[in-house]
Amino acid sequence: MLPHLMVAPTGARRQKSDHPALPITLDEIVTEARACAEAGADGLHLHLRDAGGGHLLDAAGYRAALDRLRQDLPDMQVQITTEAVGIYDAATQRDIALNSGAALVSASVAELTRDGIETARAFYQTCADRGIAIQHILYGLEDCDLLMQVLPRPLIEDPGLQLIFVLGRYAKDQNSFPADLDPFTDWLAGTGLTPDWMVCAFGAGETDCLVEAHRRGGKLRVGFENSLWHADGSLASSNADRVRALRAAIAAG
């Protein structure tokens, strides 16, 4: 099962020029993950960067990072990304998922079907057979429909099916609103599926969206990958600051 409150501290695109507290190196990520765990996060969404700060998918790099995180933060679940960012092809993404030693993997169904539905379907089945939990990234209802076409029926109906609904990614100002969740929860109600679902949300609307997702029974992902801002529009000092602010907002109801 997914952690209840996952932090995504780095992402693939932002740099320290966007925020000086953005963790880039593995040492920085470990330090920030520890602070986020102390603030109340129980999961980490892990991105790696190359020496120049660019997005990196690398199986050996992931294995080393996972070993370090398991040693330093044994109680924090770690999920790796396979995000393409226009750099990596679907074959590389599949290889990373299967050979990085990760038990939790985030992957876009739209990206992984670029080689065809049958190839993607076989990949998803292999992951299930190996005990690798794929969290399917869904940006809109077209991705939801695609997932229903691609996944083998037993995996669709498995209550352990992991989904993440992305709010605000393609908005003009890359902001999000609680109502953006409606199409996804309506889709779930219409399908009768009961997956393990999570929400992430872009911009200053992140807090309000995640509070609403919590009210509806979803799990939450917060952090600088998606937003640098608190609900009042002020700049957060760190990812841990965002975790604390979200927990306070949830407690306030």
Stated pTM of the model: 0.96
Residues 50-93: tens digit of each pLDDT? 999 999 999 999 999 999 999 999 999 999 999 999 999 999 99
Number of domains in the chain: 1
CATH number at residue 149: 3.20.20.70
End-to-end CA distance of the chain: 25
* Alpha carbon distance 67, 60 (integer Å): 11
Q: Please, where are the H alpha helices in the chain?
A: 26-39, 59-72, 90-99, 109-112, 117-130, 141-150, 153-157, 182-191, 206-215, 239-252
Residues 110-151: tens digit of each pLDDT? 999 999 999 999 999 999 999 999 999 999 999 999 999 999
Range of the domain at 200: 5-252
Banded model confidence at residue 168, pLDDT cuts 50, 70, 90: very high
Residues 8-62: tens digit of each pLDDT? 999 999 999 999 999 999 999 999 999 999 999 999 999 999 999 999 999 999 9
